[in-house]
Amino acid sequence: MVAEEPGDGRHADWSAGGRSSGGRVVPVYAVTGGRTRSTGREMPVEALITVTDAGGRAADLELEYRTIVELAAAPISVVEIGATLGVPVGVARVLVGDLADAGYLAVHLPPSATTNGGPGPEILERLLDGLRAR
Amino acid sequence: MDYVRGDSDQALIPLKVLVAGGFGVGKTTLVRSLSEIPPLLTEQEMTSASIGVDDLGPVPEKRTTTVAMDFGRITVDDSLILYLFGTPGQSRFWFMWDELARGCVGAVVLVDLRRVDDCFPAIDYFENRRLPFVVAVNGFPGSDDFDDDTVRDALALPPDCPLVRMDARRPESGLTTLITLVEHALARTAVPSQL
């Protein structure tokens, strides 16, 4: 586990066997079934996650699923979810994939790459405008 | 399943820029000075299949390990969110760069002129994969002793690769460097695919 910033409230204590909050009784890997790769579509670490209308029904989900649905109230990336929960990004990807498959989350993928491999000129223009306006 | 590709109408669009360079050159400083979120680390799992056998050293039974990586975030506008990733410095983690580099806007390669050799692997990496990158000389003491031509020669930079001077501690300096990178990436989209 990576060293966590103490006391900043952004890291739930996922590794502590449920001593902190919400009654964790199994390691997070038990929730993922040991999976660190999503079986579904490719999900890059920067993919953005938002909650769907079905997210309101997430109250009955297990703690880590529920927490992710709550985090996704505002757009958040897979890598931020992993870091916030203190789990490797591969684990976050699996949990997000499960929730997306179940309809709780929408996954916003990066734009299709051009033949040069990166985003196309329209998106780069917008990025440039946004950065220049800062 | 509810996946939305980032060029559809309703899109939220994630973008990313890599920050590369040798150990201690200022990657973390740059990511943190530009990021709107508190510093966060992510962990990426690494299996023994991904790394050289000798890297496993005295614990040959160890199958996986994790590496930590800095990242930051800039909300650019209503739908564009840019992530900055500080790449792990050690070359044995380059397998991670491939996943990170896929689809990226480009890279900032940070250079400390007192230790130019440290940035060569990063420059080689982005050059070989034809990814847009800028070389940013971080303002350590003595970095003004060399003019741009001398630095370009020392780094064997391609003529079209931008070279900037910056101070990774200052957000406006980092922002200027990012803008230079995006301008460079945009200019390259006008060029037919290079083989």
* Tens of pLDDT, residues B167-185: 999 999 999 999 999 999 9
| d(CA B86, nearest CA chain A) in Å | 13
Tell me the C-alpha distance between B108 and B136, whole Å: 7
Q: How confident is the model at residue B194 (pLDDT cuts 50, 70, 90)?
A: low
Contact flag A130-B37 (C-beta cutoff 8 Å)? no
Q: Yes or no: say if B26 and A132 are a contact pair by the CB < 8 Å rule.
A: no
Higher pLDDT, B46 or A10: B46
* pTM, two decimal places: 0.81
Distance from CA of B89 to the nearest CA of A (A): 17
Of A90, A105, A109, nearest to B6 by CB-CB distance is: A109
Residue partners of A9: CB distance under 8 A and separation at least 6: none
Cα first-last separation, chain B = 36
CATH topology of domain B13-189: Rossmann fold (3.40.50)
Beta strands in chain A (DSSP E): 48-51, 76-77, 105-108
User: How large is the average pLDDT for residues B105-113?
Assistant: 95
pLDDT in tens, B120-165: 999 999 999 999 999 999 988 877 788 999 999 999 999 999 999 9
E strands in B100-158: 106-111, 133-138
Which residue ranges make up each domain of chain B? 13-189
Query: Nearest 5°: phi and psi at B19?
Result: -115, 115
Residue A14 — very low, low, confident or very high, per pLDDT cuts 50/70/90? Answer: very low
Q: Please tell me the number of Cα atoms within 13 Å of B79 on its side-chain side.
A: 16
Question: At residue B65, does pLDDT exceed 70?
Answer: no
Q: Do residues B53 and B92 touch, judged by C-beta distance below 8 A?
A: no
**CA B32 – CA B25 distance, rounded (Å):** 14
Interface check for B154 against chain A (CB to CB < 8 A): the answer is: no
Percent of chain A with pLDDT over 90: 53
- Nearest in space to A79 (alpha carbons), one of B81, B154, B106: B81
B37 vs B117, B127, B143, B178, CA distance in Å? 32, 31, 30, 17
